[in-house]
Structure 1
Amino acid sequence: MTASAAVATAACFLWLGMVIAISFVEAPLKFRAPGVTVPIGLGIGRLVFRALNAMEAGWAIAILVALVVGSWSGMAVPVAAGVAIAMLVVQLVAVRPMLTRRSDAVLAGHEGPRSRAHIVYVALEVVKVVALIWLGIALLA
């Protein structure tokens, strides 16, 4: 395995593990903990997801650099990486601002109608997880 492949593989699986742990384990469980109100859960979630997204951006950059400096046979690695990175970009640029506006309104006491942005974010997370699994398998093949 080349150094660029090793970096991409490590970044891929670290990124995958963080997304699964935070998005699919911590986030849903946080609101079930005793004493956690919606405002407290939203405050915690905003901090946690800000940190997760910063780490994700770092892993995406590491994978991108590894792809640029490495040589890859076939299209599986660049396509899978591209899908994962594209999902992250859409989440950060298009969906997170909507979620932030919604959480700002809830924290200010204005419930209003529920936002569908959360469902879109979760759907993008599922696509990103599938792409990262695909990328990890392609890197190890």
Structure 2
Amino acid sequence: MPVAAAITFTWLGMVLAISFLEAPLKFRVPGVTLPLGLAIGRVVFAALNRVEVLFALTLAGCLVFGPRTTTAVVLGAAAVVVLLVQLLAVRPALTRRSDRVLAGETGPRSRAHLGYVGLEVLKVAALLAFGIVSL
């Protein structure tokens, strides 16, 4: 499953770089306001999520048409399910919140953000384990 491993480790690297490095660091740059940081984040995460969907589809194809183990199927499915939950359940709430901030509203931080981060941690674990199993 070398193709699946390559896709998985590329996906993992992108998630680590964007979610755990770029996302928090952009708010430390002088002059980056919350609305500007959110606007940048929306563009960056929209691009990341499009690539993640392509990786997930390719990974699913590898699992359907290539050699696989039960462990690989479970771990690959876990990463894909986490991505789907992020995209279908959490991202809409984050988008609504960022829409309000960009419109000038203030309010408490969104708990959806913590949920997204927690799901990112689970996705990283699933991708790392799947990548190792795929080797």
Residue 77 of structure 2 aligns to a residue whose secondary structure is helix
Aligned residue type for 2:8: C
Cα distance per residue 1:57-108 (max 9 Å; x no partner): 0110110000010122x31100000110000000000000000000000011
Residue 28 of structure 2 aligns to a residue whose secondary structure is coil
Gaps of 5+ in 2: none
In the other structure, the counterpart of 1:55 is 51
Aligned residue among 97, 101, 104 for 1:109: 104
| TM-score of the aligned structures, taking structure 1 as reference length | 0.94
1:41 CA drift (Å): 0.4
Aligned residue among 71, 80, 83 for 1:76: 71
Asked which structure has the greater RCO (Cα within 8 Å, sep 6+), the reply is 2
Residues 15, 59 of structure 1: 8 Å contact kept? yes
Q: How many residues of Structure 1 are paired with residues of Structure 2 in the alignment?
A: 135
| TM-score of the aligned structures, taking structure 2 as reference length | 0.98
Distance in structure 1 (CA, Å) of the matches to 2:73 and 2:86: 20
Aligned residue type for 1:46: R
> Does residue 10 of structure 1 match 2:39?
no
Residues 12, 132 of structure 1: 8 Å contact kept? yes
Residue 31 of structure 1 aligns to a residue whose secondary structure is helix
Aligned residue type for 2:54: G
1:7 CA drift (Å): 1.6
> Does residue 36 of structure 1 match 2:32?
yes
Residue 36 of structure 1 aligns to a residue whose secondary structure is coil
Distance in structure 2 (CA, Å) of the matches to 1:125 and 1:6: 24
1:113 CA drift (Å): 2.3
Aligned residue type for 1:86: V
In the other structure, the counterpart of 2:113 is 118
Gaps of 5+ in 1: none
Identity of aligned residues (%): 59
1:111 CA drift (Å): 1.1
Aligned residue type for 2:39: G
Tell me how large the CA RMSD over aligned residues is.
0.7
Aligned residue type for 1:87: V
